[in-house]
Chains A and B, each alone.
Chain A
Amino acid sequence: MVTQELTSPVAAPPRRRPKRPRDGRAAALYLAPAGILLAAILAYPIYQLILISFYDYGQPQAAGTAPLVFIGFDNYAELLDSVTFWTVLAKTVGFAGACVVGSLIVGTGLAVLSTRVRALPRMLLFLAALGAWSTPAMAGSYVWLFLFDTDFGLVNEILNAIGFTSMAHHSWTFGTFGAFGLVAAEVIWCSFPFVMVTMYAALQGVPDEVVEAAQLDGASSWRTTWSILLPMVRPLLMIATIQSIIWDFKVFTQIYVMTSGGGVAGRNLVLNVYAYQQAFAGQEYGLGAAIGVVMTVLLLSITGLYVRSQRRSDSWL
């Protein structure tokens, strides 16, 4: 119980502790294990990645049997010159945006629902959600494909049986929007649980007194949610949103498996699959690195824009 209270999310905002001269050294000590590891295993490879993006770097170069050729921004130029890249970029933003919004709405909605039901139904929902969350991406994608298969799928069979005979041999993965929609549904299926669990926790943390006071003042349920609860859970909502943006923009397995490598004539490609197809599958690591850098910059700008758009962004870090 003590733990509960002390870690309660609405605990008073931590005061900056008074400045102490020894903090620098102590901080360095505490940061050392994570810091050294991250510098070595993450920062250094990222530095290498940027270097590689300026070279003509393929399998022979990696194996050391061909000379390294510095080509400056050629990899980037090749990428930015390609019409396909821009189409793919636009589709990625649309697709990932839909996934982010979808997971946030479904996750938050179900979190709100969970606070209004008794323990048993809530337990069932959480179990199902956690199951979806822990399924390996590859397995999840294949199961969804099975269910929505044109000829052998249960969904078409049911639709046909209840009267939608035109759906008997409907192909869910053929149309651009149909395929994106199906994949987005699968992505939301396995990513809403994170949002739901986070937002449920956030809602649990709101003191009942606050809600009751608002209701006593005659605020409607909608108003209570919108103007009282939302600001209070905003910090966690922000974490959930940022993580969803980062994860959903990097979706690979689901698109790759469910649209068998990017859809008919590549119309369901997203950036990560495009990078794989154009670069990594053909061992064009230089170009792949350039795509990786561009993607990181893109994600950084989107996250930055999002953070900017939030009023309380200053208190976020």
Chain B
Amino acid sequence: MRTRHFVAGLAVLALAVGCAPAQSGPAAAGGDEKTGTVRVWLFDEANRAPKEAVVKTAITEFKAAHAGVEVDVQWIPVEGRADKFSGAFNDPSNAPDVAEFGNTDVASYAATKALADLTGDLSAWKEGTDIIPSVLDTAKADGKTYGLPWYTGIRALYYRTDIFTELGLKPPATLAELIDSARKIRAAKPDLYGISVGGKYTYAMLPFLWASGGELAKSDGAKWTSTVDSDQAKAGVTAYANLLKDDICPPASCANLTGTQSVQAFSGGKAGMTIGGDFNHKAIEQGTVKGKYAVVPIPGTTAGSIAPAFAGGNLLGVFNATKHRGLGTEFIELLGGAKYQDKMYTAMGNLPTLGSVQQKLAASDPFLKPFVDTLKAGTKFVPATPAWSKIDSQNVLPTAVQQIATGGKDANAALADAVAAMNKAFGG
């Protein structure tokens, strides 16, 4: 019987599908039930116990305030998130109510129309005005806000205090000085990379590009056009690619390094400097360089300036198909509010997105100062279009950097290719 049902089901399926590829139906309209289970997706991490503890406290508080409500948290591995979210988009009945996601994914997720527009909710929220504007911008696509910024990731320059003292170097005040110091370190200590950065470490390259006055792309409102072949951008990319040379960070070792690997080399005592995030602090503390390093903002082109950093970070969003629109929003406002941002910082070291919490913490924890300074000096973001995730996954910019660094192509040719690939992704 089952087989017959199965075959019958297939026959119906084949008829229904006909000659077009399968598609999901548009998501059913959500609801605003006040009881039931709120399903939440949060990113899993190797050491998630502290994160879990904070979330549990929040759930207890939430449940106390809402009778008849359960909160079910599922931990999503960061590595497998793409499949999870695709699954949720293609089968809305299995989608959660609330999810944590990276801000670089906002534009492509928004294009599936699976996320709820939170613009109104956040402006009505009393803590909403406290969100740092440049951070809030990273949660927007087409002018609408799709997530509540939960925490921010900012990168700055880590350097070895012992080596700088030994060689009589000062923390670099300009990018030119940074390059010069890196060369001196490598010359004096051939076992070390002057600065450990990598061809695949796009977020370390971007400050160079932005500091030189370049931009990734410009938008005329309807369409994006790549601008990485402008003279300013070219100067920035070339300066970065020139770090991947034998006299600083030999291409044989560094051309293919990712951000993680670059930071690992530094924490393993292999480099005089690196570009790392506030979120790398714990890993570096566990490495051999503990107690022998300090952090300053990545300098700009002129003394005293700070290079614009990439504003990474994670958001909390609500799914459109949720049956608990109100409850979901209330839950992310609780978890993303000042109280729990503070707790999350203590538990995980996540840099808060609320101005007041950030100031309070920066005053009490000197480690945070360079990151907060960088944030204050102004951050930038990747083009807010779904095309960015494609450009990113196709390795467009790393390929250009690697070609310049290894001499495979000159800057003009490599960046011309990058422009072509980016414009194609933008739909040009």
Contacts and interface: CB of A to CB of B under 8 A. Distances in A.
Direct contact between the two chains A and B in their complex (CB within 8 A): yes
Interface of A: 36, 40, 44, 48, 51-52, 55, 57, 59-66, 68, 150-152, 169-171, 173-174, 259-266, 277-278, 281-284
A108 B252 CA distance: 36
Contact of A65 (B14, B82, B112, B270): B112
Contacts of A264: 199, 251, 255-256, 402, 406
B218 interface: no
Interface string B245-286: 000000111011010000001001010000000000000000
Interface in B84-141: 86, 89-90, 108, 111-114
Contacts of B390: 281-284
Given A59-B86, A173-B256, A48 B113 contact: no
Nearest to B20: A68
Q: Output the residue of A44, A265, A277 with the most chain B CB within 10 A.
A: A265
Contacts of A61: 23
A238 B114 CA distance: 50
Nearest to B19: A51
Interface string B383-410: 0000001100111001100110010100
Contact of B399 (A55, A57, A265): A265
A260 B108 contact: no
A263 B406 CA distance: 12
B10 interface: yes
B284 to A, nearest CB: 17
Contact of B23 (A62, A169, A261, A282): A62
A31 B303 CA distance: 78
Interface in B9-28: 10, 14, 19-27
B90 A150 contact: no
Contacts of A51: 19-21
Given A66-B111, A260-B256, 8 more contacts: A36-B6, A55-B20, A60-B111, A62-B86, A63-B113, A64-B24, A150-B252, A174-B255
20 contacts: A40-B6, A44-B10, A44-B14, A48-B21, A51-B20, A59-B111, A60-B113, A62-B23, A63-B24, A63-B113, A63-B114, A65-B26, A65-B111, A66-B111, A152-B268, A265-B199, A265-B406, A282-B425, A283-B389, A283-B390
Contacts of B251: 174, 264
Q: Output the residue of B22, B398, B406 with the most chain A CB within 10 A.
A: B22
Interface residues of B, number: 46
Contacts of A284: 390
B253 A174 contact: yes
Ranked nearest first, the 3 interchain pairs of A and B with the lowest CB-CB distance are A281-B393, A282-B390, A265-B402
Nearest to A169: B253
B19 A62 contact: no
B395 A262 contact: yes
A38 to B, nearest CB: 13
Contact of B24 (A62, A150, A260, A278): A62
Contacts of A66: 111
B155 interface: no
Nearest to A175: B252
A60 B112 contact: yes
A4 B22 CA distance: 50
B253 A59 contact: no
Given A62-B86, A264-B406, A151 B23 contact: no
A55 B200 contact: no
B24 A266 contact: no
A266 B425 CA distance: 18
Contact of B403 (A52, A259, A265): A265
Contacts of A68: 20-21, 23
A122 B406 CA distance: 47
Nearest to A70: B20
A261 B198 CA distance: 14
A282 B389 contact: yes
A33 to B, nearest CB: 9
A174 B394 contact: no
B7 interface: yes
A197 to B, nearest CB: 33
A64 B252 contact: no
Contact of A282 (B6, B27, B255, B394): B394
Contacts of B22: 48
A59 B112 CA distance: 7
Contacts of B47: none
A170 B253 CA distance: 8
B3 interface: yes
Q: Output the residue of B19, B20, B265 with the most chain A CB within 10 A.
A: B20
B21 A36 contact: no
A52 B90 contact: no
Contact of B3 (A36, A150, A259, A265): A36
B256 A259 contact: yes
B256 A62 contact: no
A52 B21 contact: yes
A283 B86 contact: yes
Q: Output the residue of B20, B86, B255, B256 with the most chain A CB within 10 A.
A: B256
A62 B113 CA distance: 12
A62 B258 CA distance: 31
B253 A277 contact: no
A277 B270 contact: no
B394 A278 contact: yes
B239 to A, nearest CB: 19
A57 B395 contact: no
A63 B253 contact: no
A283 B86 CA distance: 9
Nearest to A53: B21
Contact of B89 (A36, A59, A169, A170): A59
Nearest to A274: B394
A37 to B, nearest CB: 10
A64 B21 contact: no
A194 B311 CA distance: 49
B111 to A, nearest CB: 5
A277 B393 CA distance: 6
Nearest to B3: A36
Contact of B90 (A62, A152, A261, A281): A62
Contacts of A57: 21
Given A40-B10, A282-B393, A151 B20 contact: no
Given A51-B21, A265-B403, A63 B89 contact: yes
A169 B250 CA distance: 10
A84 B15 CA distance: 40
A266 B14 CA distance: 40
B29 to A, nearest CB: 14
B75 to A, nearest CB: 20
A48 B18 CA distance: 10
